[in-house]
Structures are given as structure tokens and as C-alpha cells.
Structure 1
Amino acid sequence: MADPSLYTYESPLKGYEGREPLPMEKAEDGKSYVNPPRDRPSEAYNSFVTPITNGIRGGFDIHIYFLQTDEEETRFANELWERIRRECRTMPIHQQFGAFVPWLVINRGPLSALIHPNTDDEEKDHTQRATWMGQPLPLNLKMFKKRAASKV
């Protein structure tokens, strides 16, 4: 993946400065903490956060990897693809993503999956912002470097 030291990161608390401290009281389950009520749910429940696209393309891509020379993996990949097409209904992309990822955790079998956001930085999306299910695989990033260079 990507070396975290190559990037700068905005504080996750940006926009929450000066707020009351959160209570340290444990919830009934004994594991989580009691959180104060909110006036309204976070916008992240209705759309992807900036800079992730909310357009027709969708905010995330999921790439399923399999060895094309392995008959069993190829069969499983084709069956998984058919099941996805049959099972996943049309719904707003952000809702579909929230339902699909847990489904894929259980149903991806022996295959690896790369999950990445779609922003205006393809290389960063496929490295620093990406998440793997299963065994991570090396990626050839040349095309992203070429595309970025051609935009200059």
C-alpha cells in the first residue's frame, strides 16, 4: 500500500473544536461508550463525504482478484459475479455500498478484493485510501502516474 509518511492528514476533529468533552460512561453492553444525542444524523448517512464522488459513477469501486489460470478460482469468481448481479438491487449508491461490503466479507470466498474511493486522485485512491479484503496483491500504478502527468 502507501507509506503514511508521504501524506498529510487533516485532524478528524476539524469542525468540532471547542465542543464539550464526551462522557466516559460505559454503555449497557460494557464495551462501548454513551454518546450524547445529536440533533440530526451525520450527512455521511445520506451521501459520501468530500472528496468522494456522489455522481453516477459511484463513490467506491471494488475490484475482485482471481488467478485466471486457476480453474477453481475462475469458476468461483464467475459464480460470485452472477450472484452479485442477481442479489444486489438498485438503491442509492451510498446505501448499496453499506449493504454490499458486509455481504462481500462473507461471500468473497478465496478471492481478494480491493475497495477504493473515487476522487480526483486515482493513485491515492488505489493506495493510501484503499482497503483490502483477503490477501493484498501488488498493484501496477504506472497508468495512474501517466494519467496524472498528461493532465499537467
Structure 2
Amino acid sequence: MTDPTPSARAATHDEPEIQRRNLLLAGGVAAAAAGLAAPGAGKAQEASQVPPPARQPRAPAGGKSPWGYDTWKQATPQPVSIRPGEAPLPQRPRAYTDIKSYHAHVYFDEDTSQKAALLRRWVSERFVVELGDWNLTPRGPHVTPSFYFGFTNDLLHVILPWLQLNSLGLTILLHPNTDDPRSDHLYYTAWINRSQPVNGYGMKKPGEGEPPVELIYPNTKPFLPIET
């Protein structure tokens, strides 16, 4: 028997490869046809994986809402004033001599209490001030823990820049003391680092028989010179 020609041998060698390609091509066409026949199959599978909505609680049997059932019809009210008790616009500027003294309120929390303690010690060692107690809970218009110290006007030009450089990153409210404590805490303020809410809207001017301005009674005995 004679050997097949080279072209015949090549054809015989390529037959398995041709069959494999035809099989893969036929499978791909079938898969594409199946996808065309059911275009929403993928979406249906995705939708089946979405968790069902939470069950809404049922209203208790009997009874009714104390607010009635027409609250949605109520008109939107307008407050009498955004800042209740605020005085009308002044006719002329206030005299700076209305300021009789200053308070510095130093705010802190559980993460910054050591910084507050250090700053408090520094102040008492260097300045003649009225140093108040620790307030570990909100007190008065102050909504976070704090301590304060009061000082006279002649120290403002020193204490203000000193606090700016030695605040240790703490929030400090610096306000004057006039005969209007509400405005002192809300409008006449200076903040070191950042501001925070002050609940001073309920504060009122001193009543009859009360001192017109909060007085300062220094209680520290500084023994260190101020850094210059």
C-alpha cells in the first residue's frame, strides 16, 4: 500500500481540531440563542437575590392618635422671632466702656481633659483672675463640660493673644460682661479655634436689686512671669 500524500496526511491530522472547533461554535450559538429567548433571565435571577421588604408594624387595635387625623392640613406657622427676646436694631453703637470685665470659658471632654487641666494651671500661675470650679456636666448656657476664669479689662490685650498661642487646640469662648448677659454670650463673643452652640436664649438682664454687671473677684496668686 502506498503512503497518503502530504496534503492527505495534513487533512487527516486536522480533522480532530476541526471537529473541536465546530463543537465549540455550535455550543456558543446555542447559548446565545438561549439568551435571546429569555432576555429577562439574568434580571430575574438578580431580583431573586433582593431581600424582601421589612414587614410594617401594625397599628394597635382600637384607640386613635392624640393629635387627630388632620394634622397634615395644618398651616405652617411662623415663629414670633427666630431669636426670642432679641431687642430691635439699635439707633447707635454701644459705648465700649459698657464692658466691665471678661470671661473665658474653656470647653473640654473626656479626650481633652488633660489639656484643660494643663491650661488651667498655666493661667493660675501667670494671671490675676477669678478662677471658677470644674463643670463636668453642662451648666448654665454651656452645653459641654467647661471651666471659666474672669479678668479685668486691663488684661485683655495680654490674655487674648496668650490664649491664642496657648489654647492647646481647645475651644474657648471669650465674652465681655455688660448689663446684657444674653447678648454677651451670643453676639458679643470672640472664639478661639472654633465655635460651638451656646444655649443663651433664656438669659435675662439683671433684675431689680441685682448687680447690673457680674463682678469679678480675683482669687489666684500668680508666681510665674508671662513669657515674652
Q: Which has the larger radius of gyration?
A: 2
Task: Please tell me the root mean square deviation across aligned C-alpha atoms, in Å.
Answer: 3.1
2:171 equivalent to 1:112: yes
In the alignment, what sits opposite 2:126?
A: 87
Count of matched residue pairs: 103
In the alignment, what sits opposite 2:207?
A: 151
In the alignment, what sits opposite 1:43?
A: none
* C-alpha contact 2:99 2:176 (8 A) present in aligned 1: yes
Provide the rounded CA distance (Å) in 1 between the counterparts of 2:177 and 2:164: 21
Say which SS state the counterpart of residue 141 (structure 1) adopts. coil
CA 1:128–1:75: 2 relative to 1, 3 Å: same
CA 1:9–1:63: 2 relative to 1, 3 Å: farther
Q: Taking structure 2 as the reference length, what is the TM-score of the superposition?
A: 0.39
In the alignment, what sits opposite 1:44?
A: none
Say which SS state the counterpart of residue 83 (structure 1) adopts. helix
In the alignment, what sits opposite 1:65?
A: 107
Question: What is the aligned counterpart of 2:97 among 35, 50, 54?
Answer: 50
2:159 equivalent to 1:100: yes
Superposition deviation, residue 62 in structure 1 = 0.8
In the alignment, what sits opposite 2:90?
A: 8
Provide the rounded CA distance (Å) in 1 between the counterparts of 2:108 and 2:187: 22
CA offset digits 1:26-66 (Å, max 9, x no partner): xxxxxxxxxxxxxxxxxxxxxx932112xxxxx11111111
CA 1:79–1:52: 2 relative to 1, 3 Å: same
Gaps of 5+ in 1: 13-47, 54-58
> After TM superposition, where is structure 1 displaced by more than 3 Å over at least 4 residues in a row?
none
In the alignment, what sits opposite 2:222?
A: none
Provide the rounded CA distance (Å) in 1 between the counterparts of 2:93 and 2:200: 28
CA 1:130–1:7: 2 relative to 1, 3 Å: farther
2:185 equivalent to 1:126: yes
Q: Taking structure 1 as the reference length, what is the TM-score of the superposition?
A: 0.57
Superposition deviation, residue 8 in structure 1 = 2.7
CA offset digits 1:82-119 (Å, max 9, x no partner): 011112257x9322221111010000011011111101
Superposition deviation, residue 128 in structure 1 = 1.0
Say which SS state the counterpart of residue 97 (structure 2) adopts. coil
Say which SS state the counterpart of residue 119 (structure 2) adopts. helix
Superposition deviation, residue 151 in structure 1 = 3.4
Amino acid aligned to 1:106: L
Superposition deviation, residue 6 in structure 1 = 5.7
Amino acid aligned to 1:10: R
Identity of aligned residues (%): 25
Provide the rounded CA distance (Å) in 1 between the counterparts of 2:118 and 2:183: 31
